[in-house]
């Protein structure tokens, strides 16, 4: 099989040869033809730079926080300007649409200017070179604006913000939240398993520690597979943790990771989306948290897991007592931040709003999404239910 990259190289070579033949036909000079085609090819680099500059200038003008810029034509990497807007920002859909239009617009304007200059120039070689460069610029704009070319193309992103602004804003917020969840998971994983040991999926499935590390690596990028696959994968892991022969510390590690991953999302679903999880999910989560807590009750990670389970089970006083002792500087900062915020949520349930405010301040600004979940709990009256009561027919 021919790799896509090789196919791309072959197509490019063919295209350049065709262009040289065409340029030769117009300019009637070999040197002129090669120079004209060379200039056209090089113009791609300039167009890519201008494209990203277009995005960058719009981002700066519209005060969208820019977190990274990468210009890397011919390397196989995407050239990109990354922005990280706050989900509740004013007029965000319009600003994002303009941001995504910025790059292609600059390419189209440049192409128009080049074509106009080419039309008024004298020599055949210059004309071919300029028209070629204009064509490259216009093509770059069009390719980026076609929604289907890549899931991250300007056109695709632009359409999402244009057609489904509310859902896109919610997805942005959820994406930031998952980043916070992932950071918390990293803080509790203590780097037990190196990547080099994660080679064989069959062996990974039997060793609980390897299975956990493989699970986390499989899902660390987030969007690759379906939610159903993720849940099935997590259930296999939970069964492994509950199995009789499993080493208690390995079971504890799995219990902690699953409780934090799912528990934080249950909290989010109940408070932000107004859809509390079913009671049996909370019970299952509490059993997993218990595996961690009974193995190492002194560890903050185990107390965070157990506290989260209590909180979801609407037992805020239990959650609070587990999270009284948080030691920033001793425990990992990401874990301390989450612990402070979970205790703040418990205090909100108990009506201690002043204590909750102090704890949110102590958590710092590294968990903005979780802090907003806590703020929503604090603002609600009564506190939103965190799990849905079982239907009566089931009783």
> What are the residues binding Zn ion (CB under 5 A)?
103, 144, 154
Residue nearest to Zn ion (CB): 103
Backbone angles phi, psi at 275, to 5 degrees: -125, 90
The minimum distance between CB 140 and Zn ion, in angstroms, equals 9
How far apart are the C-alpha atoms of 261 and 234, rounded to whole Å? 10
Nearest residue (CB) to Zn ion, 70 versus 361:
70
Q: Considering beta carbons, is residue 115 or 142 the nearer one to Zn ion?
A: 142
Q: Which residue has tokens 């995407």?
A: 78
Q: Which is nearer to Zn ion, 100 or 340 (CB)?
A: 100
Closest contact distance (angstroms) between CB of 92 and Zn ion is: 18
The nearer residue to Zn ion, 50 or 211, going by C-beta atoms, is 50
Q: β-strands 277-278, 80-83: how paired?
A: unpaired
Q: Which is nearer to Zn ion, 103 or 208 (CB)?
A: 103
CB of 53 to Zn ion, least distance (A): 11
CB of 142 to Zn ion, least distance (A): 12
Residue 310 CB neighbours (<10 A): 23
Encoding tokens for residue 395?
Answer: 């009783």
Q: Can you say whether residue 329 is alpha, beta or left, with left for phi > 0 and alpha for psi between -120 and 50 degrees? A: left
Smallest separation (angstroms) from Zn ion to the CB of 94: 17
| Residue whose entry in the numeric block shows the structure tokens 């504890």 | 252
Q: How far is the CB of 45 from Zn ion (least distance, A)?
A: 15
Q: Are 362 and 354 in contact (CB under 8 A)?
A: no
Alpha helices in 272-391 (DSSP H): 279-295, 300-312, 316-322, 333-349, 353-362, 368-379
Q: Residue 210, Cα to own-chain centre: how many angstroms?
A: 24
Residue 103 vs 316, nearer CB to Zn ion: 103
Q: How far is the CB of 107 from Zn ion (least distance, A)?
A: 9
In the complex with Zn ion, which residue's Cβ is closer, 105 or 294?
A: 105
CB of 159 to Zn ion, least distance (A): 14
Q: Where are the alpha helices (DSSP H) in the chain?
A: 4-27, 30-61, 92-119, 124-145, 154-163, 165-189, 201-206, 208-219, 227-242, 248-271, 279-295, 300-312, 316-322, 333-349, 353-362, 368-379
Q: Which H helix or E strand runs over 82? A: strand 80-83
> What is the sign of the dihedral through the CA atoms of 232, 233, 235 and 239?
positive
**Nearer of residues 103 and 263 to Zn ion, judged by Cβ:** 103
Query: Residue 32 or 103: which CB sits closer to Zn ion?
Result: 103
Least distance CB 73 / Zn ion (angstroms): 12
């Amino acid at each position: 099989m021919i790799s896509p990259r090789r196919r791309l190289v072959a197509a490019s070579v063919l295209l350049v040869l065709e262009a040289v033949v065409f340029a030769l036909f117009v300019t009637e000079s070999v040197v002129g033809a090669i120079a004209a085609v060379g200039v056209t090819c090089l113009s791609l680099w300039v167009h890519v730079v201008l494209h990203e500059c277009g995005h960058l200038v719009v981002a700066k003008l519209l005060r969208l926080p820019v977190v990274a810029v990468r210009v890397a034509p011919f390397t196989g990497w995407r050239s990109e300007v990354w922005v990280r807007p706050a989900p509740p920002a004013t007029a965000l859909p319009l600003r994002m649409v303009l941001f995504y239009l910025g790059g292609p617009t600059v390419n189209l304007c440049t192409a128009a200017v080049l074509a106009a200059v080419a039309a008024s120039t004298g020599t055949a070689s210059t004309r071919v070179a300029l028209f070629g460069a204009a064509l490259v610029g216009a093509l770059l704009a069009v390719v980026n604006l076609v929604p289907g070319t890549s899931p991250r193309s300007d056109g695709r992103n632009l359409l999402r913000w244009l057609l489904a602004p509310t859902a896109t804003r919610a997805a942005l917020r959820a994406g930031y939240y998952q980043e916070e969840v992932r950071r918390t998971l990293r803080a509790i994983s203590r780097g037990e398993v190196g990547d080099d040991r994660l080679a064989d999926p069959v062996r990974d499935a039997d060793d609980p520690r390897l299975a956990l590390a493989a699970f986390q690596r499989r899902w660390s990028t987030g969007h690759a597979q379906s939610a159903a696959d993720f849940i099935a994968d997590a259930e296999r892991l939970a069964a492994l943790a509950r199995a009789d022969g499993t080493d208690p510390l390995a079971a504890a590690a799995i219990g902690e990771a699953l409780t934090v991953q799912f528990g934080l999302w249950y909290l989010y679903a109940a408070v932000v989306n107004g859809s509390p999880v079913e009671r049996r999910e909370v019970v299952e989560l509490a059993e997993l948290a218990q595996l961690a807590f009974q193995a190492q009750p002194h560890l903050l990670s185990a107390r965070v897991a157990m506290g989260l389970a209590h909180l979801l089970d609407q037992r805020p006083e239990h959650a609070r007592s587990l999270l009284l002792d948080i030691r920033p500087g001793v425990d990992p900062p990401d874990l301390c931040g989450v612990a402070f915020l979970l205790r703040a949520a418990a205090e909100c349930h108990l009506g201690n709003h002043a204590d909750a405010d102090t704890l949110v301040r102590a958590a710092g600004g590294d968990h903005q999404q979780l802090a907003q979940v806590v703020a929503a709990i604090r603002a609600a009256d009564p506190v939103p239910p965190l799990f849905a009561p079982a239907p009566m027919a089931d009783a």
